[in-house]
Amino acid sequence: MVNEVRLSHEVELTVSFHDCDPMGVVWHGNYFRFFEVAREALLGKFNYGYREMKASGYVWPVVDTRVKYRVPLSYEQRIRVRASIEEFENRLRIAYVIFDAVSGRRTTTGYTIQVAVQEGEQALSFVSPAILLERLGVAR
């Protein structure tokens, strides 16, 4: 696994009313939306967001994901979501940690795994395309 600070990015969000269930706690499925916001910001940092992915001839579907709910999030809570690229050679594995922005307490962890699929042929690439490695500044 990769552990480079430059391959991480954090965003700060405030939990909205529409993110919560009737008990005022963030509905479990919305954590993936928080992950997505951080993932988009991280990939944008390398100029390889979803538009650039598509323009390069690849789509990157999420094929596996996991979330561990440690402490519930609630309405109007300020949170920091850190996304970090852990693997990039054969797939894109991004780890996430959600923190309470005020206390710094870790509330949630998880990951997503995406694979490169050639858009036209719908063919799975068993190694990450050169464009990803180029954008990440990684020599092949």
For the chain, the structural domain boundaries read 4-136
- Per-residue confidence of the chain (140 residues) as pLDDT tens digits? 566 788 999 999 999 999 999 999 999 999 999 999 999 999 999 999 999 999 999 999 999 999 999 999 999 999 999 999 999 999 999 999 999 999 999 999 999 999 999 998 888 999 999 999 999 998 66
- pLDDT at position 3 is 65
Helix (H) and strand (E) counts in the chain:
3, 8
Q: Which of 49, 64, 60, 32 is nearest to 116 (CA)?
A: 60
Query: What per-residue confidence (pLDDT) applies to 5?
Result: 83
Q: Over the Cα atoms of the chain, what is R_g?
A: 16
Q: How many CA atoms lie within 13 A of 114 on its CB side?
A: 23
CB < 8 Å & 24+ apart, contacts of 40-46: 41/9, 41/11, 41/83, 42/7, 42/8, 42/9, 42/83, 42/84, 42/85, 42/94, 45/9, 46/135, 46/136, 46/137
Token pair 């509330």: residue:
107
The pLDDT assigned to 75 comes to 96
Domain 4-136: top CATH class? alpha beta
